[in-house]
């Protein structure tokens, strides 16, 4: 689908990975550095509340809150203010396909496990409530156990605890809610003894009344809206009453604790676990050995990750609940673009993107961010297109973003960098990769980045970049950077020169024509060359590949005569011009072709610019 241009179209992006050790105040300090580097947009990892301690943010557990581990709302606002002050846009990751399913941190999932099909959130998740296996009817399979259920139960690893007026089930670090309608099976153990001890006591009457109220709750299989609302209301009333009673009455507290000890059983005595087993059989979940997941799982996960549960984003109520905060931030101008994680996992990606565009129009954001009539909001999809695959035509997006890896050397890395900077699309620089990063790992890395060191390096490079930008040659200075390539300054220098050029020529980089260039000569198959052109001028992009045969011990870089008799052909409309080397400031004269030896006289990669006559 051809979308109208958004009010703000990114020219380049820089990825910031937020977590507890890189927070909003840290990002605010980095903003001037990003602007000096030449990027036009900050691309933020997911910012909504994630599992405690998350290093990536893709395990969202609450869509209505910013992640408190990243800082306060005031911290976030100051970060956004800094972006605006330096004229940087703000693209934010959204994760519509799945959520973290730790019930301690995800209130929607916790409610589903407590209340089953009668939960107001039961339709939010892809759960088959009526699977083939009858024992899973009305239940969610939880493959979280490290052994078969019976073994885990009889070792005493499943333990009840009482807190805040309710029973909870603990399995090591995992804590699950307990169906409140069934808690009298435990809390009512030996109640006759309690009645004898507290005969006529007001606390006893309150306790028995609470047990009756719990027993009379609507079942967790209810689908009637009024009965669901009654269950939600009355279970909380009973919980609050029980919490107050236990706090005020030591005898009742002692009875509750004794009931829990009895139900928790004693390892070596299988019969002692009967009460706990009976209670677990009546929950809206069924505990299972983790190895059974692939065979019996009855809810959609993110791939086969048990900790991430699929969302039914095709449901309008789910979309609204998951995007309310994002919509408000768009409306406030604090978000100028969205990067959608894993849209292929959605039931109906096209409708999702339609709703996303409509949501931004309804946000009524300030100029430069929102989508007035006839304009679109900047949205990209995280999708790796395989060879021959094209982007889905019915997706209202402006493109895709995917992952790639460096292929282990300095020349290869610089060639890859220049191609990324000059090819059609929006180049994304992952945090820290301004310097060498030859580790073959997910580039969305979570390792600490020393931005102070990078700022200092950029300060040393700025006079050189300014000098070349002003049209003065600096061959020796660039040669010095290449000689000391191990320190990474040459990569940062190429990056900042390329980003500055993109920032200064946004129309060319966003919509300029792309034309491959033919090469001729003994090393022609070791060149990649193309032109980008519009009414403002022409950019020639020329980089080497497979250069090992061109270097020797005496000539460690493929420069100058290494390219003897190899030429790049120039079509008539871009031939016969004087080109300025964006990376060295040199002037390169072009006839009907360019000598590769002249192009690579100083630098092993080239960006050559000629203004239109």
pLDDT, one tens digit per residue, over 416-429 is 999 999 999 999 99
CA atoms within 13 A on the CB side of 462: 12
pLDDT band (50, 70, 90) for residue 371? very low
Average pLDDT over residues 248-261: 97
Taking CA atoms, 142 is separated from 100, 236, 366, 601, 610, in Å, by 13, 25, 45, 64, 63
pLDDT band (50, 70, 90) for residue 442? low
Counting other chains too, the contacts that 74-82 makes at CB distance below 8 Å and 24 or more residues apart are 75/23, 75/24, 75/25, 75/28, 76/24, 76/47, 76/334, 77/334, 78/24, 78/25, 78/28, 79/24, 79/25, 79/27, 79/28, 79/31, 80/334, 82/28, 82/31, 82/32
pLDDT band (50, 70, 90) for residue 389? confident
Average pLDDT over residues 99-123: 97
Distance separating alpha carbons of residues 180 and 297, to the nearest angstrom:
25
Q: Crossing angle of helices 24-37/73-85, nearest 10°?
A: 10
State the pLDDT at residue 370: 45
pLDDT, one tens digit per residue, over 115-152 is 999 999 999 999 999 998 899 999 999 999 999 999 99
Phi, psi of 477 (to 5 degrees): -65, -40
607 contacts 422 by C-beta, under 8 angstroms: yes
pLDDT band (50, 70, 90) for residue 555? confident
How are strands ordered across the β-sheet holding 519-520? 519-520, 567-569, 593-595
Distance separating alpha carbons of residues 119 and 98, to the nearest angstrom:
18
SS3 state of residue 78: helix
Average pLDDT over residues 335-340: 96
The answer to whether residue 367 scores a pLDDT higher than 50 is: no
State the pLDDT at residue 365: 46
State the pLDDT at residue 602: 95
State the pLDDT at residue 407: 81
Ranges of H-type helices in 265-348: 274-281, 293-296, 316-331
Phi, psi of 183 (to 5 degrees): -65, -25
pLDDT band (50, 70, 90) for residue 408? confident
DSSP code per residue over 327-348: HHHHHTTS--EEEES-GGGSS-
pLDDT band (50, 70, 90) for residue 391? confident
pLDDT, one tens digit per residue, over 40-59 is 999 999 999 999 999 999 99
pTM: 0.87
pLDDT, one tens digit per residue, over 556-579 is 899 999 999 999 999 999 999 999
State the pLDDT at residue 303: 85
Distance separating alpha carbons of residues 367 and 82, to the nearest angstrom:
18
User: Percentage of the chain with pLDDT > 90?
Assistant: 84
Distance separating alpha carbons of residues 587 and 579, to the nearest angstrom:
6
For 186, residues 6+ apart whose C-beta sits below 8 A from its C-beta are 160, 167, 259, 260, 263, 275, 276, 279
pLDDT band (50, 70, 90) for residue 386? low
DSSP 90: E
Distance separating alpha carbons of residues 180 and 216, to the nearest angstrom:
10
pLDDT, one tens digit per residue, over 498-521 is 999 999 999 999 999 999 999 999
Query: Would you state the torsion angle of the CA atoms of residues 599, 605, 606, 607, taken in this order, to the nearest 10 degrees?
Result: 180
CA atoms within 13 A on the CB side of 9: 19
pLDDT band (50, 70, 90) for residue 103? very high
Handedness of CA 183, 160, 125, 298 (dihedral sign): negative
Average pLDDT over residues 193-210: 95
State the pLDDT at residue 441: 53
Domains in the chain, CATH or no CATH each:
13-97+311-402 (3.20.20.80), 107-305 (3.30.1590.10), 451-611 (2.60.40.1180)
468 C-beta neighbours (distance < 10 Å), count: 23
The answer to whether residue 444 scores a pLDDT higher than 60 is: no
The secondary structure element, H or E, covering residue 112 is: helix 107-115
pLDDT band (50, 70, 90) for residue 5? confident
Distance separating alpha carbons of residues 48 and 194, to the nearest angstrom:
48
Distance separating alpha carbons of residues 190 and 187, to the nearest angstrom:
9
State the pLDDT at residue 291: 87
Locate the DSSP E strands across 83-163. 89-94, 98-100, 140-145, 158-163
State the pLDDT at residue 328: 97
Distance separating alpha carbons of residues 26 and 31, to the nearest angstrom:
9
Mean pLDDT score of the chain: 93
- Among 464, 459, 500, smallest CA distance to 480 is for 464
State the pLDDT at residue 404: 42
Provide the residue count of the chain: 613
CA atoms within 13 A on the CB side of 280: 23
Distance separating alpha carbons of residues 570 and 542, to the nearest angstrom:
12
Counting other chains too, the contacts that 409-413 makes at CB distance below 8 Å and 24 or more residues apart are 410/436, 410/485, 410/490, 411/544, 411/547, 411/557, 411/558, 411/604, 411/605, 412/545, 413/438, 413/491
Of 181-190, 471-480, 550-559, 591-600, the one with minimum mean pLDDT is 550-559
Taking CA atoms, 501 is separated from 416, 508, 581, 612, in Å, by 17, 10, 11, 16
């Amino acid at each position: 689908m051809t979308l109208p241009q958004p009010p703000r179209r990114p020219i380049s992006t820089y990825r910031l990975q937020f977590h507890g050790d890189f927070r909003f105040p840290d990002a605010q300090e980095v903003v001037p550095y990003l602007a000096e580097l030449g990027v036009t947009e900050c691309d933020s990892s997911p910012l909504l509340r994630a599992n405690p301690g998350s290093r990536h943010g893709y395990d969202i557990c609450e869509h209505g809150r910013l992640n408190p581990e990243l800082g306060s709302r005031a911290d976030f606002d100051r970060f956004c203010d800094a972006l605006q002050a330096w004229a940087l846009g703000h693209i934010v990751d959204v994760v519509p396909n799945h959520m973290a399913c730790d019930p301690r941190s995800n209130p929607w999932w916790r409610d589903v496990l407590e209340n089953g099909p009668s939960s107001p959130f039961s339709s939010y998740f892809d759960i088959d409530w009526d699977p083939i296996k009858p024992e899973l009817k009305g239940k969610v399979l939880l493959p979280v156990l490290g052994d078969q259920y019976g073994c885990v139960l009889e070792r005493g690893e499943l333990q009840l605890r009482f807190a805040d007026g309710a029973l909870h089930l603990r399995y090591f670090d995992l804590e699950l809610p307990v169906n409140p309608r069934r808690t009298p099976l435990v809390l009512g153990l030996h109640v006759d003894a309690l009645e004898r001890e507290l005969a006529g006591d007001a606390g006893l009457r309150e306790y028995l009344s609470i047990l009756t109220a719990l027993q009379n709750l609507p079942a967790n299989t209810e689908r009637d809206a009024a009965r669901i609302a009654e269950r939600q209301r009355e279970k909380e009333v009973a919980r609050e009453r029980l919490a107050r009673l236990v706090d005020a009455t030591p005898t009742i507290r002692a009875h509750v604790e004794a009931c829990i000890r009895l139900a928790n059983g004693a390892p070596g005595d299988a019969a002692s676990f009967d009460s706990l087993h009976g209670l677990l059989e009546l929950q809206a979940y069924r505990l299972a050995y983790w190895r059974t997941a692939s065979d019996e799982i009855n809810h959609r996960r993110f791939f086969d990750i048990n900790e991430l549960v699929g969302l039914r984003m095709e449901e309008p109520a789910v979309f609204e609940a998951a995007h309310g905060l994002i919509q408000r931030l768009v409306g406030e101008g604090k978000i100028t673009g969205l990067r959608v994680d894993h849209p292929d996992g959605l039931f109906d990606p096209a409708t999702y993107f339609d709703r996303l565009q409509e949501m931004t129009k309804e946000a009524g954001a300030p100029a430069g961010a929102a989508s007035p009539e006839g304009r679109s909001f900047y949205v990209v999809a995280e999708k790796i297109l395989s060879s021959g695959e094209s982007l889905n035509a019915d997706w209202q997006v402006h493109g895709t973003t995917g992952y790639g890896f460096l292929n282990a050397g300095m020349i290869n890395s610089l060639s890859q960098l220049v191609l990324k900077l000059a090819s059609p699309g929006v180049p994304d620089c992952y945090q820290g990769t301004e310097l060498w990063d030859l580790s073959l790992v997910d580039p969305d890395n979570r390792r600490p980045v020393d931005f102070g060191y990078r700022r200092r390096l950029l300060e040393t490079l700025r006079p050189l970049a300014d000098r070349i930008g002003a049209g003065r040659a600096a061959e020796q200075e660039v040669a010095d950077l290449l000689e000391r390539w191990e320190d990474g300054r040459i990569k940062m220098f190429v990056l900042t020169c390329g980003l500055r050029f993109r920032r200064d020529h946004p129309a060319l980089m966003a919509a300029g024509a792309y034309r491959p260039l033919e090469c001729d000569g003994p090393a022609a198959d070791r060149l990649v060359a193309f032109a980008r052109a519009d009414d403002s001028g022409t950019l020639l992009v020329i980089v080497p590949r497979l250069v090992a045969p061109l270097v020797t011990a005496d000539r460690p870089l493929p420069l100058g005569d290494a390219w003897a008799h190899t030429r790049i052909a120039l079509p008539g409309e871009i031939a016969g011009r004087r080109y300025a080397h964006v990376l060295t400031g040199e002037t390169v004269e072009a006839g009907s072709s360019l000598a590769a030896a002249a192009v690579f006289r100083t630098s092993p990669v080239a960006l050559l610019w000629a203004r239109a006559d």
